[in-house]
Amino acid sequence: MRAVHRYPGCTGQRATRTGLCRRPVQERLGASAENRHREPGGRQLGHGCHSHKAQSQIPGLANVKNIVAVASGKGGVGKSTTAANLALALSREGARVGILDADIYGPSQGVMFGIAEGTRPKIKDQKWFVPVQAHGIDVMSMAFLTDDNTPMVWRGPMVSGALLQLVTQTAWNDLDYLVIDMPPGTGDIQLTLAQKVPVAGAVIVTTPQDLALLDAKKGVEMFRKVNIPVLGVVENMAVHICSNCGHAEHLFGEGGGEKLASQYNVELLASLPLSMLIREQADGGKPTAIAEPESQIAMVYQELARHVGARIVLQEAASPAMPTISVSDD
């Protein structure tokens, strides 16, 4: 499986992680309409897809079939942008999708989905948060429960409790996929997710920069230790294409995402450019996957969604039980 990338400014060719791809984009994206919404084995990728979870001992989440964690080892690598576009691309495949902004300290999905500042979720039966609807997606975020300028000065246990409350006390609308936009790092929220939430798999987001790759490796190792499958790697800011002359320049290094994927024997799911368009559309509340759905960048996100759905199906039905940690006086 090769990542697809055609960047604005390229002269009719697409850079890939091993050179230039000459296959037509229709072939790479699955040209036949009858196969577009199918998982491997003919099962449906869109609404009505099968439920999967890695931790067999954790009860499933009501009205949610598959939970995908989008994570990174460090901030500033485009994780939230990737999560938003992945959710929208899955929706375009016909799935019912929600997104949970689990970055308690720095939530951003409200802005990316164009949700007005000060929006508050409705309360159902004095217990359930009703997710905010935007672009056909269920959206839930700590940003909806606080003011934009109010910092969350919380210790780890409070943050973990808030995450569980957002996950379990939101009245999700019969979702095929719930995308969780994780905070950067490998701390309390990540551990709580692994121990309490039935995750189907994780997507690791990085840039080619060595410092980002070092932290991304820690993210991969963490998910492996808690027996959550790593579905693959997304490499952002892989190349910058000059909008004037078309010159390609690897500002943050070259081939880092491929090396990371190869080292851990996972797929390089997608490789995306450093693009002003991606940034402007996310800041404007209408990410690329729906702002320009026929663009080459949006097609990368669309293939990412299909690959994520396929990788979930290909994982074993249940991972081994979570390791038990014991402490003795010896």
* 80 has binding-site annotation: yes
* 74 has binding-site annotation: yes
* pLDDT at 13 > cutoff 60: no
- Higher-confidence position of 325 and 72: 72
CA 213 to mean position of chain CA atoms: 17
| CA atoms of 9 and 244, how far apart (whole Å) | 8
Q: Where are the domains of the chain?
A: 51-100+176-314
Positive or negative, the CA dihedral 30, 178, 173, 195 is positive
- Quote the tokens at residue 166: 């957002």
Identify the pLDDT of residue 44. Answer: 54
* 160 has binding-site annotation: no
What residues are paired with 71 via a beta bridge?
Answer: 204
| CA atoms of 44 and 50, how far apart (whole Å) | 8
For residue 321, what are the CA distances in angstroms to 87, 182, 195, 209?
28, 22, 10, 34
Identify the pLDDT of residue 112. Answer: 97
* 319 has binding-site annotation: no
What's the 3-state SS for 228-242?
A: CCEEEEEECCCCEEC
* 286 has binding-site annotation: no
Q: Name the pairing type of β-strands 128-130 and 122-124.
A: antiparallel
Model-wide pTM > 0.85: no
| CA atoms of 87 and 167, how far apart (whole Å) | 16
Q: At 38, which amino acid appears?
A: R
For residue 1, what are the CA distances in angstroms to 17, 196, 304?
11, 32, 11
Give the angle 283-110-37 at the CA atoms, nearest 5°.
Answer: 90
Identify the pLDDT of residue 25. Answer: 32
Tell me the pLDDT tens digit for each residue of 53-106. 888 888 889 899 999 999 998 899 999 999 999 999 999 999 999 999 998 888
Tell me the pLDDT tens digit for each residue of 136-151. 999 999 999 887 777 7
DSSP H or E run through 299: helix 296-314
Residue 272, sorted as left (phi over 0), alpha (psi -120 to 50) or beta, turns out to be beta
- Higher-confidence position of 134 and 56: 134
* 197 has binding-site annotation: no
* pLDDT at 4 > cutoff 60: no
Identify the pLDDT of residue 102. Answer: 92
Identify the pLDDT of residue 42. Answer: 45
**pLDDT grade, residue 30 (50/70/90)?**
very low
* 56 has binding-site annotation: no
| CA atoms of 90 and 180, how far apart (whole Å) | 13
Identify the pLDDT of residue 287. Answer: 97
* 136 has binding-site annotation: no
Question: Domain 51-100+176-314 carries which CATH code?
Answer: 3.40.50.300
Task: Write the burial class of residue 52 (CB in 10 Å: 0-12 exposed, 13-18 middle, 19+ buried).
Answer: buried
Identify the pLDDT of residue 323. Answer: 52
* pLDDT at 216 > cutoff 80: yes
